[in-house]
Amino acid sequence: MKTIIAEKPSVAREIARIVGATKREEGYFEGGGYAVTWAFGHLVQLAMPDGYGIRGFVRGNLPVIPGTFTLIPRQEKTEKGYKSDSGVVSQIKIIARLFKESEQIIVATDAGREGELIFRYLYHYIGCTTPFVRLWISSLTDKAIREGLRNLEAGDKYDNLYLAAKARSESDWLVGINGTQALSIAAGHGTYSVGRVQTPTLAMVCARYWENRRFTVEPFWQLHIAADGGNGDTVKFSSSEKWKEKEPATELYNKVKEAGTATVTKAERKEKIEDTPLLYDLTTLQKEANAKHGFTAEQTLEIAQKLYEKKLITYPRTGSRYIPEDVFVEIPKLLAFIGNLPEWKDKVNPKAVPTRRSVDGGKVTDHHALLVTGEKPLFLSKEDNTVYQMIAGRMIEAFSEKCVKDTATVTAECAGAEFVVKGSVIRQVGWRAVYGEEEKEETIIPGWQEDDRLALKAASITEGKTKPKPLHTEASLLSAMETAGKEIEDDALRQALKDCGIGTPATRAAIIETLFKRGYMERCKKSLVPTEKGLALYSVVKTMLIADVAMTGEWEKELARIERGELLADTFRKEIEAYTKEITSELLSCDKLFARRDSGCKCPKCGTGSMQFYGKVVRCDNAECGLPVFRLKANRTLTDDEIKDLLTDGHTKLLKGFKSKQGKSFDAVVAFDGDYNTTFVFPERKSKATSARRRK
């Protein structure tokens, strides 16, 4: 008998059907000489510190660096601490029996770093010695599974992938456990969760927040002229310069009005070619789904995984935007399939030869770019269909012709000021026809030449205001994670730098969600706004190694080298251990940032603890309560006296100087709600009618 192990029951069910394992047993399917079983994600994990006899957060125990990591069944958190999940333990026993009774194991967990780790941790925990081979497929269609089963690969081919996954798992444990314990010990209260990727990600969100909030808005003035373009058309120029003072701008504006004409000083015309966009990888799909449809990164990943398991798209957790030659052969057939979907009627030219910009086998990692499979998308929810059609539409774009434009830039002089207008005419629509973008692209510039005099139809002056960089959205944060904070627009260059990003396409959504769950940031419409807790943590760690985005990007690069067999996992482990010792020492030394004073106020929540003043927070010293009151509220720090009013009376006096997330100032009372969270109470505004009656 052979045992096939999949990552999820739904995938196991599909494989079991194909191999004829139709008999349902407890925890597996059987038949046709196969047992087909499944994991539920990670069934086995690294033991927590108490697995090494280390209990509680004790300064003298740090750093905790196990000589050899211990594997245990996945645990769940309870009120009394962690305990093994009974369902997990039961499934492990079933898998262990099947493995030991089998002549061969076929590994069918997801074909990627984490899928490999799920199997290998389980295999080592069980102590299994049965030989195993690998099913490595990029889609779950019947055809792909059958071909994969006919071309099973040697298990040891993926040893480096496992070593990279193991190194990632152990380094996250070392940094997360030691960093969290060290910072929490330094604080002397509560738990401050930090992590190898989580904390640099939070640092990017907080740094952008402060850059946005501390930005000084400055006014500027700009001049505009409207010239006669012939045939009744008007062409609007804008001044090259923007003035910070109104007076010189107004003075020049009056001269421009009097001039009545402008002289062309330069007329440039050239062809501009816009390459087709590359196919989607997971991160690009998540970014565009967030920007265009407001989907969270996690939501997009869940939908993509669901579409994959329904056999509608290829493996979604991919970091590549290219396909190899053998997959390119299938593209004409897939494009014909998409062209028959009602959403893409008349968008695919059946006679056109697909372009090759997204074809490069050398740039394909574990999996090629996202494609639809050719299975009909039936009975999809609105959200699922949106993501499916995004992938289909991108395929049409990626294999269409380039977009070719004739561009024109005309510079004119009037009253000593320079004015510019830019325009373009699309000569070959190409890929831009897919979403009809060409309709809003054209700005026709007349065939003006140097020294032409233009009659002015109007002149105007406008006032604008400088704008800060916007707060991060999930789309912009995913971009920043992808390039370790470097701002790069070019698709190909971003792709070249992806090894230096922080996190991986498969993990970035989970990292972002972790920051929400830890209470470090929240969503405000599409923007990501750090909470007071997140800003307090950032203020402590922002200059430390634990928050260094570039260094975290270097770790990710090292993991990719392990995967390619270019770096020994032991070398990486030693580097991470040294790094762990550094950050532990650094975080333990920041107890001065958590120096405390007694407020002289009892805790309003538990009534037994005493509220202690710290730098950024006031907290109850009763360990079972630990009520926190953060000083920073809406860009204003509460004073000691204001905090004391809140603790003794349940509210402050009316306070001035708060600033909303939109940058508007407001006055409010800070008060406790029923759960002792702080909230704003706004004074009632007297209506004009009420005021008039009172005056009488």
Cα gap 400→327, rounded to integer Å: 17
Domain residue extents for the chain: 1-150, 165-211+468-587, 217-274+401-463, 280-397, 597-679
CB contact set of 80 (below 8 Å; sequence gap of 6+): none
**How would residue 655 be classed by pLDDT, with cut points 50, 70 and 90?**
very high
Question: Percent of the chain having pLDDT more than 90?
Answer: 71
Is 280-397 the same fold as 1-150?
no
**How would residue 438 be classed by pLDDT, with cut points 50, 70 and 90?**
low
**How would residue 693 be classed by pLDDT, with cut points 50, 70 and 90?**
very low
CA atoms within 13 A on the CB side of 259: 24
pLDDT(580) > 70: yes
Range from 67-76, 544-553, 580-589, 607-616 carrying the lowest mean pLDDT: 607-616
Cα gap 130→433, rounded to integer Å: 55
Strand partners, 424: 407, 443
Cα gap 80→183, rounded to integer Å: 23
Q: Tell me, which fold does domain 217-274+401-463 have in CATH?
A: Topoisomerase I; domain 3 (2.70.20)
CB contact set of 271 (below 8 Å; sequence gap of 6+): 404, 405, 406, 407, 427
Over the stretch 219-245, which tens digit does the pLDDT of each residue have? 999 999 999 887 778 999 999 999 999
Cα gap 521→97, rounded to integer Å: 45
More confident residue, 131 or 637: 131
* pLDDT score at 294: 94
| Structure-block tokens of residue 547 | 């928050």
Average pLDDT of the chain, as a whole number? 90
pLDDT(246) > 50: yes
* pLDDT score at 407: 93
* pLDDT score at 492: 60
Residue with tokens 């993991």: 559
More confident residue, 128 or 631: 128
**How would residue 643 be classed by pLDDT, with cut points 50, 70 and 90?**
very high
- Between β-strands 44-46 and 71-73, what pairing exists: parallel, antiparallel or unpaired? antiparallel
Range from 470-474, 530-534, 652-656 carrying the lowest mean pLDDT: 530-534
**How would residue 410 be classed by pLDDT, with cut points 50, 70 and 90?**
very high
**How would residue 348 be classed by pLDDT, with cut points 50, 70 and 90?**
very high
pLDDT(495) > 80: no
Over the stretch 666-690, which tens digit does the pLDDT of each residue have? 999 999 998 898 999 998 765 444 4
Examine the residue annotation and report whether 209 is marked as an active-site residue of this protein. Answer: no
Options 3.40.109.10, 1.10.460.10, 1.10.1200.10, 3.40.309.10; CATH for 165-211+468-587 is: 1.10.460.10
Nearest CA-CA partner of 281 in 504, 37, 80, 19: 504
For the segment 59-63, the average pLDDT, to the nearest whole number, is 94
Catalytic residue among 28, 125, 315, 520: 315
For the segment 356-371, the average pLDDT, to the nearest whole number, is 90
* pLDDT score at 230: 78
Residue with tokens 């090894």: 499
Cα gap 545→589, rounded to integer Å: 13
Cα gap 133→158, rounded to integer Å: 10
* pLDDT score at 486: 76
3 state SS for 643-683: HHHHHHHCECCCEEEEECCCCCEEEEEEEECCCCCEEEECC
**How would residue 612 be classed by pLDDT, with cut points 50, 70 and 90?**
confident
CATH number of the 1-150 domain: 3.40.50.140
pTM here is: 0.81
CA angle 467, 468, 470 (to 5 degrees): 110
* pLDDT score at 77: 76
* pLDDT score at 595: 62
pLDDT(322) > 90: yes
Q: Which CATH superfamily is domain 280-397 in?
A: Topoisomerase I, domain 4 (1.10.290.10)
Cα gap 634→660, rounded to integer Å: 6
For the segment 537-562, the average pLDDT, to the nearest whole number, is 90
Helix (H) or strand (E) holding 153: strand 153-154
